[in-house]
Amino acid sequence: MATVIVPAHNEASVIGDCLESIVNQHGVDKIIVACNGCTDNTVEIVRQNYPDITCLDIEKPSKTNALNEAEKHISSFPIYYLDADTVISADSISTINAFYNNPKNQEVLLTAPTPKIDTSGSSWWVKQYYKIWINLPYIQDGVIGTCSFIMNEKGRKRFDRFPDIINDDGFVRCCFDSHERANVPASTIHIKAPKTLFSLIKIKTRARLGNMQLEVSKLCAKPKQANYSGSMKEKLLSKNFVPTLVYIAIALAIRLRAKKQFSEIENYVWETDHTSRG
């Protein structure tokens, strides 16, 4: 049986879809929604529509603090950490629970559903970016790009509390070697891509900034540098020439923007994509 934690900051427009994808799944022992710093009616939606769910109303607007507070209420393993703007496929939880219970997978401590990026409402630029991004070797390596992750009891002992950082999933991922983590193919997590180019740049800047913070703070126990050069050269010589050029240009803009924000990280304000919500 599993515990599911959903951190939520002003997620009134999407929290219902997320919870509907969880509440009727087999293998769930407890669901905890860790509302943090909400100024909308996220808390009211959860408490009124899902009375059996543990709903925390945390004053401080911090995802990592919300995760730490929610973990005080866990009752079972594995623990599913699912972002409020995602939807998991039917039977994902029982499938992943069974994956952990399979003796063949005893070395795997960190998992995630396989990501499905919905770009149907996105601009041409965003679609070209994700056409390349989803097939990068680093993404294919497992437990990245999902916005969510799952740890069994042994895996959760790998670190103490979630540190006060931007990139919580990046921190968790680099606590494990590649053979200790895996995306579970028979389960999927559906993620809506940003609609506009600027919204894409905002959320990817946040991810890049989080990686820079991890590197400087030395919090990454098992760092791994992503090497895109070989992959990019191959794609530039393929039918994906145009999407690859678009990806490289956007990635450069993200890198420059993150570098500027990192120089002022003490004043950083969490950037959210609102175009994919609602």
Go through 160-173 and write b for each residue having 16 or more CB atoms within 10 A of its CB, e for each that does not: eebeeebbbbbbbb
In the numeric block, which tokens belong to residue 198?
Answer: 């600027």
Per-residue pLDDT, 185: 86
- pLDDT by 10s per residue, the chain, length 278: 999 999 999 999 999 999 999 999 999 999 999 999 999 999 999 999 999 999 999 999 999 999 999 999 999 999 999 999 999 999 999 999 999 999 999 999 999 998 899 999 999 999 999 999 988 877 766 666 677 999 999 999 999 999 999 999 999 998 999 899 999 988 999 999 999 999 999 999 998 999 899 989 888 877 666 666 667 778 888 888 999 999 999 999 999 999 999 988 887 787 888 898 76
How does pLDDT run across 180-199, given as a tens digit for each residue?
A: 999 998 899 999 999 999 99
Per-residue pLDDT, 142: 66
| Structural domains for the chain | 2-267 (3.90.550.10)
How does pLDDT run across 48-72, given as a tens digit for each residue?
A: 999 999 999 999 999 999 999 999 9
In the numeric block, which tokens belong to residue 85?
Answer: 């703007």
Count of other CB atoms within 10 angstroms of residue 110 = 22
Per-residue pLDDT, 229: 67
Q: Is residue 275 within 8 Å of residue 192, measured between CB atoms?
A: no
Taking the alpha carbons of 257, 263, 264, 269 in that order, is the dihedral positive or negative? positive
Contacts of 61 (CB under 8 A, 6+ apart): 9, 36, 37, 38, 270
In the numeric block, which tokens belong to residue 264?
Answer: 């002022």
